[in-house]
Amino acid sequence: MTLLLDIQRLTIELPAGADRVYAVQDLSLRVDAGRTLCVVGESGSGKSLTAAAIVRLLPSPDLRISGGSILLEGRDTLAMSAAELLQVRGGRVGYIFQDPLSCLNPLERVGLQIREVLDRHAWKGDIAARVMQLLSDVGLPEPEITWARYPWELSGGQRQRVMIAIALAADPQLIIADEPTTALDVTTQAQILRLLRDLQAKRGLGLLLITHDFGVVSEMADDVAVLRAGRLVEAGPRAQVLGQPREAYTQRLLAAIPPLVARPARAQGTALLKAQGLRKIWHSRGAWGRNDVGTLAVDDVALSVNFGETVAVVGESGSGKSTLARMLARLTDAAAGQAYLAGVSDNYLALPSRSLAPLRRAVQVIFQDPFASLNPRHTVGESIAMGPIANGTPHAQALREVGELLERVRIDPRAADRYPNEFSGGQRQRIVIARALAMKAKLLIADEPVSSLDVSVQSDILDLLDEIQARDGVGMVFITHDLRVAARMADHIVVVHRGRVVESGTAFQILTQPVQAYTRELISAVPKLRPERAE
């Protein structure tokens, strides 16, 4: 085997005042040609910083590489000049990031963005033909048409394929993929992983894959490295780390993965929400702004939730899940349909905005990105208290209740005076849940609330939501593309495809006796956690 990447005793120091001295300490890893190293660990373990350090792209000048070496094909990148690094970045090393929409220029056609890499690295040959070949290699339909599209005209899976094409453009020997499938649904994720495996086999690439999904590890890895707080706690072949982990930390991460098994049935309360005939059409301008184009996002959807019940809505990206959630919360208007909530006598979809105060108190939303959901200029205590104060709770009383709410979500009440950027992703999600509880909500709408969290933090958040339901009897609509999470949380599952409900039933029925081919396809696409990968 040819050694491509050899990291020896890498140490990255954190700025003064951080909760620990080192982000990465004394870390050694290696990647061989034609093999995949999966790096796993909780948030803050140093996975992404290690990947960024390989070509000296640390996100902050306050972070400092204070020790070690990073040998890329025998040359130490830590000793390279700026000009040499420019040739390595995107040349010998290709990067695939987690969020392609934020990495692609929204104002430039994707074909030109691929061409830019070839121009920068002085590609010898027909550049236009190379771009078309790359688009074809990554499985994008009609390369001639896709070349001229903008990123916002493509689906999430298609944008990720464009990112892979950019990473492969200059024919690198090493690909670094940082959580490349986290935000993708299971079928798109399966397609992307299959594509990476095929390209690796075809080109003999080395792949450094950062992920918190052990299902992805079992599908992709030859070797596995487990990080915790910047240190390597376990490393070895996939079969050994997944099948016979030595370290308690690795065992705990594996134990936190929810199985694809329906939860035990729970006794249900009375009716809380009943919606039917829900319909939403998104309008946009057609080519050259001449025609109004309508996209049917939600089509004749019915949904009911009881007190104490969780209904999971699952489906691929673009199936209408999040649009449905926003309609139920009246964050977007429905084109048609009725929805009735216990305590609100009228069809609240037809109520004018000035009459929605009871609904705003009764229905609260937990969004996927807790950092974007919190005002960075307000302390978390202010964010939690703001809703009750706006609804008439005396200011002093609302602030007193903040401490109780933070305790309920297992955060030190003394942290109420801190700002969102001072918390981890899992802690911020707990704060968003506390804010929802402050309104004494009857219905929680959770839109992908754990998809960006590592497995142990994800498990903690799901346990917390369970506790809240058991104590308060709230109902929950749980939007997710992860069927394992749906199995862990749901009493009933609603499967949506292209805006329509294709199947619904108890979690046990859907997961063990699916009727529709689309549901069976979703279930079969879930990565299986197995030490030995099926080739």
Could you give the angle at which helices 425-438 and 455-472 cross, rounded to 10 degrees? 10
The answer to whether 164 touches 188, Cβ cutoff 8 Å, is: no
Residue 304's Cβ-count burial label (10 Å; 0-12, 13-18, 19+) is middle
Tokens 């009716």 sit at which residue? 271
DSSP letters of 342-385? TTB-S-GGGS-GGG-HHHHHHEEEE-S-HHHHS-TTS-HHHHHH
Q: What is the 3-state secondary structure (H, E, C) of 267-322?
A: CCCCEEEEEEEEEEEEEEECHHHCCEEEEEEEEEEEEEEECCCEEEEECCCCCCHH
Tokens 């939860």 sit at which residue? 263
Angstrom CA distances, 179 to 77, 186, 397, stand at 23, 14, 43
Kindly list the domain boundaries of the chain, sorted by start residue. 93-171, 273-374+425-524
Domain 273-374+425-524 annotated CATH 2.40.440.10: no
pLDDT in tens, the chain (535 residues): 789 999 999 999 988 766 678 889 999 999 999 999 999 988 778 898 999 999 999 888 888 999 999 999 999 999 999 999 999 999 999 998 877 877 899 999 999 999 999 998 888 888 999 999 999 888 887 888 888 888 888 877 788 889 999 998 998 999 999 888 876 778 878 888 888 888 888 889 999 999 888 888 988 999 999 999 899 999 999 999 999 999 999 999 998 888 899 998 888 889 999 999 999 987 655 444 555 556 788 999 999 999 999 999 998 877 888 889 999 999 988 889 999 999 887 899 998 988 888 888 899 999 877 777 889 899 999 999 999 998 888 988 998 899 989 988 888 888 899 888 888 777 888 898 899 889 989 999 998 888 777 788 888 889 989 998 988 999 999 999 889 999 999 999 999 998 999 999 999 999 999 999 999 999 988 877 666 654 4
User: Measuring CA to CA, which residue among 449, 443, 475 is closest to residue 462?
Assistant: 449
